[in-house]
Structure 1
Amino acid sequence: MTTRCHWVDLSKPDYVAYHDEEWGKPVLEDAKLFEFITLESAQAGLSWYTILKKRDNYRAAFHQFDLHKVAAMTEDDVIKLMDNTGIIRNKLKIQATINNAKRFIEIQQEFGSFAYYQWQFVNFEPIVSTIHSPQDYQATTEISTQFAKDLKKRGFKFLGPTTVYAHMQACGMVNDHHDDCFCKAPILEMYQQLDIKAQLSSQK
């Protein structure tokens, strides 16, 4: 029998697929990181599964997360999206997505890529947590607090320390799979095969 992290609802195939195929694997591509950041900011105050079910709708609403197209969206687009029942119709969150796209581009211009900027917070080395029980999970860390503080200083919205930590978990900056989870070891092997700093430096 395959052992997974306790939070996975086995009755929801899309949730299982997200856990098995995406969560915790290192992401080095800016396009994917922008998608993850957008979804995490939309999730603030809600359950992750609520957003996961709407993921395809978010892709359609925000130009498949094309960074420059999202950054160019206007207040008229915001008004239209407020009638879109496929996404969370929170005006501040919709506006934050457009704002965050602009801020994301600014970071790309400064650091060469958002991925390089982001991964420096863990010194380009994923953090491997020891997770034996649900009580071992953290909602925020010193690093996620620093990361969120820097994002806020740069003008990002809806990305506090807890949301940022969830982002770090999702994109592999932290391996928070349960120690008995079948995903834990393969992701550790992925870490060993990657020279994240060298790879990101070559992309700048």
Structure 2
Amino acid sequence: MGQFCLPYTCRRYCRADRNRRSYLATPPNFSEDLEVPVGQSSTKRRVSVLAPDNVTDLRFDVSSIRRRSGAMHFANNVNALVKAEEAQRTFVQTLTKTFAHLPSGLAIFDRARRLVLFNPALHELSTLPVETLATRPSLHDFLDEIREARVLPEPKNYSTWRDKITSMVTAAVDGTYCETWSLPNGQTYRVSGRPHHDGAVAFLFEDISADISST
């Protein structure tokens, strides 16, 4: 992805198409939007400019550096990134609607292992407040929270607890994690883990207490 410089005094945006032909457009107040605030040497922001067709919005991440004579601006085209982010949001919204009425608890952690999606059943089965889940806790923090809430088998050796979490994630990524949790309150959960979109991992929590008691 190439970089190009936008002179501070220039109110025109120039780009080249695949045939290297240049086009000019005049987005309103473009220079004013890129001013570096007094007291700062540089800024970074995402801006939108109108393409030559006067219909399409083009998105750029613009880094602005203060100079003696004004400022210099460097912009990276992030249209593909913006589209990917929008697709991800749509995907999450679709999943949320799909699993809203699922009786099993669903927790999806992204590639950084932060909670990015959960359904109402997870709140009920984990007993964690929705506000806590909405803070996007890490997988480690989430498991620590449900352990404190006694919705997790108490580890016999806490020093090996973190190692167990690592093994749990590895098995989930491989699609082989499935365990039965006997909770201190007498309930029994079946917990399974599966790989998910873009390096994420999904865990499904099922209350199988009734099935266990009937056997």
**Which structure is richer in relative contact order (CA contacts within 8 A, separation 6 or more)?**
1
More helix by share: 1
Decide which structure has the larger Cα Rg and report it: 2
Q: Calculate the TM-score normalised by the size of structure 2.
A: 0.27
Q: Calculate the TM-score normalised by the size of structure 1.
A: 0.28
More strand by share: 2
